[in-house]
Structure 1
Amino acid sequence: MDSNKSPPLSEQPTQFVSGKPNKLVAAKLHKVLNASIANDTRIKAALTSLSDIPDLDETDLRRNLRGTIEKKEIATNEKFLEAFSVVVNQLENLELEMKDMQNSCIQMRGKLDDVAGETEKMIKRTGSYHEQCEANDTRIVIADRFLEKFTLSQDEIHCLTSPNTQVDNAFFDALAHLQRIHSDCKLLLMTAQQRAGLEIMESMSAYQESAYEKLYRWTQGESRSSFGGDSIDVSSLMTKALLSLGHRPVLFQTILDELAMARRDAVARAFLSALTRGGPGGTPRPIELQAHDSLRYIGDMLAWVHQACASEKEMLESLFYRNSTKTADDYQDVSTSIIKDAVFNLLDAAMEGTCRPLKTRMEQVLVLQPSAITSYKVTNLIQFYAITMGRLLRKTSSLAEALYENTDLAYKYFFKTLNAQSQRLLQNVEAPSKDLTVAPVVRDMAIQLKEILASYDSSLVMATQTTEDLQEFNFGEILDAIVEPLLQMCESSVEKFTQVDQHIYMINCIHHIQSTMNTYSFTDNKRQALMEQVDERLGLLANEQYHELLQQSGLAKIDEALKTKDTNTPLSSLSDMSANSLARTLSKLDSFLVMASADVSPQLQRLATTEHCQQIQDKVIHLLLDTYRRISEAVQNPMNGYGLEASNILPRTVEDMEAIFSFAL
């Protein structure tokens, strides 16, 4: 490239005539010179529009471009006006139509407003009618419920009043409905509807009376036909009938009297049949066949009566308490106390028929009892059943009173038997053998006492520690009635014996009787009394032995002097109480101690127990030691005047004597 060539125009500095550069012109010129036509969209659009103009040559374009364009624009606008005038005409037509439509809408809206007013009135009227319909429906329901609650259906009226219909569950359902109506009418009387309540009660009263009259006659017939036999099948209808009649005390009591009469006759016939005929086919055998065996005879009769009483009570309870609890029906809402009294009254009446034959036969047996053991067993058996059946019956019932009376009577005959036995014992007294062993009659009486004790111990009175409402009874009376006459007989049998032999024999007899009662706690008081008698007699025997040994040992004279002398008188001043005399007397003590044997004396060997022998021996030795101790203290006492010779008088000290006798203690 030629270096002298001038630079491009864009690179040449812009200069003006003034010689000063114009920055604004220079910038625009620079922009124009550097603009690219190819990249300018507006130029492209303008050139495209010019190309669309027909018959446009370059010469016209350069001369009259603006006019040409303006003509072109006017022509275009004319076409637009022609096209838009059509639109304007259509819009004017549309505006007219809209005005017509608006007028129609205004008219229609007026009509709609009128219709809305009418509709609103109609809706209000419809709502009022609807409320009236609901109120009428409620009144209908209330009326239906009222009629259902306070009126009987034709079927129910026919069932309650017609004599041709049976008494069945439908009858009791209708009666329950009638009873509920009557109860509900009482509530109406406490409200503003008193007139309605009175009218309904009046209309129901006739039905109620007819229903109870029909029920009473049916129940009366059932009582006579179904409750007079041995086997009774209690029906639920009878239970409902009795509970329903509980609202009519007079009718209810009349039916109870019918039932009581029927059951009294039935139980009495069954008892007499069991006594004389026995069971069906002879099994079980008649009770009268056991009349020779008093205990079994009375036991069989009382067992039959007890079983009949329990069965009768179970039947009566099922009659009134079939479902164990009351049903919800109002007509069965009867007082519990009324039902309880009815059961006990019927049970008392039913068992009343057994009282006379039972009491008569028991009295015959009690009178003829020769044996005290059998008499007591019979008495105890009667008392057992009196207490047992007293729990089933009321204490004031005829059967309970008869058993209580027979119990008292049995005890009277029992004590009468014991008294007769005691008289025979005292009339036929025999002396015991020489060895003083217990006589056979005492052993026999002890065996009898043991059997009576065993019978009482196994009895209900002893087991429950109660006699219920029986007369208070003390078993100690029986012990006294048996033991005291026996002891009197034993004393009478040894009246001619020595005192020692009497004591030994009585101790043996009392010990034998006492041993019979050892295992029974209810004899504690009597055993204690007998033990005191034994101790008293053992003490007397010990005194006898003591005085005998006192004589043998030579201490009796000295002991007597000590007991009889005056307190202020010296012992040495008494006759034969000098130091030499005492020394000679006490010298015999050693020989007595050598000769004394540790064995029990032959008399005491006749005691029944070695325990009693040992008690006597211990007592005697203690008495001897006490006597020697008193003598020793008296000799050593200066007031008795023995002085220095006191140590030579006593051969042995008290401690020596205790050591010597220790083998026997």
Structure 2
Amino acid sequence: MVDYLTRKHSGPTGNVEPPLSPSGAQPSRSNPLAAKVTSVLSASYADSDLRDALDLLDQRNVVNNAETRRQIRLDVQKDVIESNGDIIKEFGHVAEQLRRIGLTIASLNQGCEEMKRHISSAHQETAPALEEASELMKQKSQVEEKQQLLKAFSTHFVMSEDDVASLTSTAEPVDDRFFAVLSRAKRIQTDCEILLGTENQRLGLEIMEQTSKNLNGAFQKLYRWIQREFKTLNLENPQISSSIRRALRVLAERPSLFQSCLDFFAEAREHVLSDAFYTALTGRSVNGEEDTTVKPIELAAHDPLRYVGDMLAWTHSATVSEREALVVLFISDGNEIAKGIQAGRESEPWNKIGEDDGENSEFDGNKALNELVDRDVAGVARVLRQRFGQVIQSHEETILAYKIANLLNFYRVTFAKLLGNDSILLESLASLEEASMRQFRVLMQDHIAGLQVEHQSPTANLSPPEFFQDGLKQLKAIMKTYETSFTPDDTREADFVSILKEALDPFIEASKTISGDLKKPASIIYAINCLSLALDTLVPFDFTQIRVQEIRSMIEGHSAELVEYQYSYFQRGSGLQALLQALAPLSESEEDIKSIRTLGPFRPDALTQTSQSLDDFLPSALMDAMENLKFLQSSKIARHVTEQAADKFCEDFEQIEGKLIACDEVCGQDNDETEEPEPLRAFFPRTSGEIRVLLS
């Protein structure tokens, strides 16, 4: 039925279309049937309620007729009445339940009101007790907080009697517990500064006063303990007690006590090293007991240089060992001692007033270490000065004095690198070196004064005198010694100038004095021989180059004099001197050229004689000239000098030859119509080429 009605009255969209009248117009609103039909048809069969109703009718299988419809209406009305009755009956039960609930609620409200009255009465009775209990709890909390604060304060700022005894009592050992308590006391003293910043400063002042007293006692105890340990300390033992190093680092916070310990230590070590040095020298202790384990330096050294060298070597070895031991003792743990001393200076500002380095100076650990080592070997330095003074004064050998001075220079540079430039030992070595050099100069002056140069005479072969050769041998020994010294390269040559003035210049001046009595060329040859020997002695050493250049310049000057002598010899022996003297005043003018024929040396007979003299001279001229320099020990200089003189002679011959040719040409041009005179070249036929070949 539902499907039928839906298909019959629904459009494409499911909406019911109202029926039309036969004439196509809408039905009249007053027709009940039409209104009924319109109402039925206008109903939407898509409504779920309507569809459920229709499904119910389908399930009953009713027939759509009037009787059935009336019966259904009656049944429906009956069902509605019965349903309403059931609802009313149920609502009666609900009303009864609601009545009972109302009674229960009223009873509950009455009970609540009663409880409120009891609670209010109880609250009024217990309120004072609760307020009192709350106040007591608050006070208890404050007391507990104060107890905790007092306990923490006592634990941090108050030291126990056992701790104070461990810190200040000399009966207690200086062990790890001592240093732990000392560290805590220093921390308490530092933290007291916070208490001084509060309103109540009395507590902070009292604690700081007591702590400072305990700290001072602790440092005094540590100071005395270190002094006792220093008395039995063996620096030769590689396993130096770590407790001493730790104690020194802590004591550095009191610079005055630390310095007193260093003074005590330096004094003790100075006596120990002085006694050891005396034993090394003599083989006996200061008390006179013989030490068989030591080979005495005084007996083992067979010469003065070995003796002083062994003493310096022992001193260097002892200084190095002392410094290494003190490095382990004072520096091996980093800059802890320096930091402690710096902290001590800050805590003791009154100690800075007398310092020269200023208020902001920092502690230099290496410098302090060098000063301490230098103080330790100060006694050894005094013994060295005495022994060296005896050696220097008791020996009068020039080379020995210089070798001792050079050895002292070597060790002075070595100790400067080890201890710095400001040390007592370095000052001692410098004064000893100066004394040795002074002794060397005195001995050199005495040796020069004893030469008696005025009575010396040169040898027949003009070789350097014996005293000059001995002086150069001595100088060579000095230079070999100086070559091994530690003098810096930039000042090496400048420092040796004074030695050359003492060991070379007097011999050169003495040779000049001797050569003054000789005639040329013997005096020149003698001077060159002496200077050449000096040059050969100086050249191998790199620190004499300035003096080498000076001597070479002197040799060159003397060689120039020899060139002039040989040149004059060529002029005189060849007979050209008269020709050169005659041509000297003439110029290059035609008149002067013509006048050459009128000059005496250029007359045919004189010119022929000169040409013959030249021919006789030339074959042996070079050998004869070399014979003049036969005593010159340097054949190279002799050959060079003769070659230069020969070159100058050849140039003069070229000049004469040119003048003769020019004169012949000018005279030939002026006598074209008359009989031409015989040319000058006919009387003087030699050419410059022939001369150069003969003198080459």
Of the structure 1 ranges 516-525 and 130-139, higher mean CA displacement relative to structure 2 is found in 130-139
Pairwise CA distance, 1:320: 2.3
Residues 221-255 of structure 1: CA distance to partner in whole angstroms, max 9, x if unpaired? 2233326x865864333333334334444433332
Change in 2 beyond 3 A, CA 1:653/1:526: farther
Matched, 1:576 2:597: no
Pairwise CA distance, 1:644: 6.7
- Residue matched to 2:384: 358
- Residue matched to 2:279: 273
Pairwise CA distance, 1:156: 2.7
Distance of 1:282 and 1:400 partners within structure 2: 32
Pairwise CA distance, 1:409: 0.4
Aligned 8 A contact 1:586 1:650 in 2: no
- Residue matched to 1:541: 562
Pick the aligned partner of 2:495 from 465, 474, 483.
Answer: 474
Distance of 1:663 and 1:190 partners within structure 2: 115
Change in 2 beyond 3 A, CA 1:547/1:43: closer
Pairwise CA distance, 1:538: 1.5
Pairwise CA distance, 1:650: 5.4
Residues 309-363 of structure 1: CA distance to partner in whole angstroms, max 9, x if unpaired? 2222232333322302328997883565275565344323211111232112112
- Residue matched to 1:383: 409
Pairwise CA distance, 1:382: 0.8
5 Å-filtered alignment, 1:199-598, equals 199-226=206-233, 234-277=240-283, 282=292, 285-326=295-336, 333-334=343-344, 336-337=362-363, 342-393=368-419, 395-426=421-452, 434-437=460-463, 442-462=468-488, 465=490, 474-491=495-512, 498-561=519-582, 576-577=600-601, 579-580=603-604, 583-584=607-608, 586-588=610-612, 591-592=615-616, 594-598=618-622
Distance of 1:531 and 1:66 partners within structure 2: 164
Pairwise CA distance, 1:551: 1.0
Aligned 8 A contact 1:230 1:267 in 2: no
Aligned 8 A contact 1:179 1:330 in 2: no
Q: Which amino acid aligns with 2:615?
A: S
Change in 2 beyond 3 A, CA 1:80/1:590: same
Aligned 8 A contact 2:255 2:341 in 1: no
5 Å-filtered alignment, 1:628-647, equals 628=653, 631=656
Pairwise CA distance, 1:274: 0.8
Pairwise CA distance, 1:376: 1.8
3-state SS, counterpart of residue 322 of structure 2: helix
Distance of 1:452 and 1:421 partners within structure 2: 15
- Residue matched to 1:152: 159
Pairwise CA distance, 1:258: 1.4
Matched, 1:99 2:109: no
Q: Which amino acid aligns with 2:502?
A: A
Distance of 1:597 and 1:137 partners within structure 2: 132
Distance of 1:206 and 1:654 partners within structure 2: 123
Distance of 1:529 and 1:329 partners within structure 2: 59
Distance of 2:110 and 2:632 partners within structure 1: 151
Distance of 1:165 and 1:479 partners within structure 2: 70
3-state SS, counterpart of residue 166 of structure 1: coil
Pairwise CA distance, 1:503: 2.5
Change in 2 beyond 3 A, CA 1:509/1:164: same
Aligned 8 A contact 2:338 2:364 in 1: no
Q: Which amino acid aligns with 1:587?
A: S
- Residue matched to 1:36: none
3-state SS, counterpart of residue 257 of structure 2: helix
Aligned 8 A contact 1:180 1:330 in 2: no
Distance of 1:226 and 1:620 partners within structure 2: 84
Distance of 1:644 and 1:137 partners within structure 2: 149
Distance of 2:689 and 2:155 partners within structure 1: 112
Change in 2 beyond 3 A, CA 1:84/1:263: same
Figure out how many residues of one structure are paired with residues of the other and give that number: 611
Change in 2 beyond 3 A, CA 1:313/1:578: same
Of the structure 1 ranges 326-335 and 417-426, higher mean CA displacement relative to structure 2 is found in 326-335
Distance of 2:146 and 2:488 partners within structure 1: 75
Instruction: Give me the CA root mean square deviation.
Output: 5.0
- Residue matched to 2:632: 607
Give the unaligned 5+ runs of structure 2: 1-21, 28-36, 38-53, 346-361, 671-676
Aligned 8 A contact 1:508 1:608 in 2: yes
Distance of 1:131 and 1:235 partners within structure 2: 58
Aligned 8 A contact 1:167 1:215 in 2: yes
Pairwise CA distance, 1:273: 0.7
Residues 423-462 of structure 1: CA distance to partner in whole angstroms, max 9, x if unpaired? 4444697666544455665444433322221221221014
Q: Which amino acid aligns with 1:559?
A: L
Distance of 2:514 and 2:330 partners within structure 1: 68
Aligned 8 A contact 2:392 2:439 in 1: yes
- Residue matched to 1:11: none
Distance of 2:678 and 2:133 partners within structure 1: 148
- Residue matched to 1:14: none
Of the structure 1 ranges 148-157 and 567-576, higher mean CA displacement relative to structure 2 is found in 567-576
Pairwise CA distance, 1:75: 6.5
Distance of 1:466 and 1:173 partners within structure 2: 57
Pick the aligned partner of 1:649 from 673, 676, 680.
Answer: 680
3-state SS, counterpart of residue 460 of structure 1: coil
Distance of 1:443 and 1:525 partners within structure 2: 21
Pairwise CA distance, 1:476: 1.7
Residues 154-203 of structure 1: CA distance to partner in whole angstroms, max 9, x if unpaired? 44322112222111232223223222333343455456564443232222
Change in 2 beyond 3 A, CA 1:173/1:342: farther
Distance of 2:216 and 2:621 partners within structure 1: 107
- Residue matched to 1:661: 692
Pick the aligned partner of 1:165 from 172, 193, 208.
Answer: 172
Distance of 2:553 and 2:451 partners within structure 1: 24
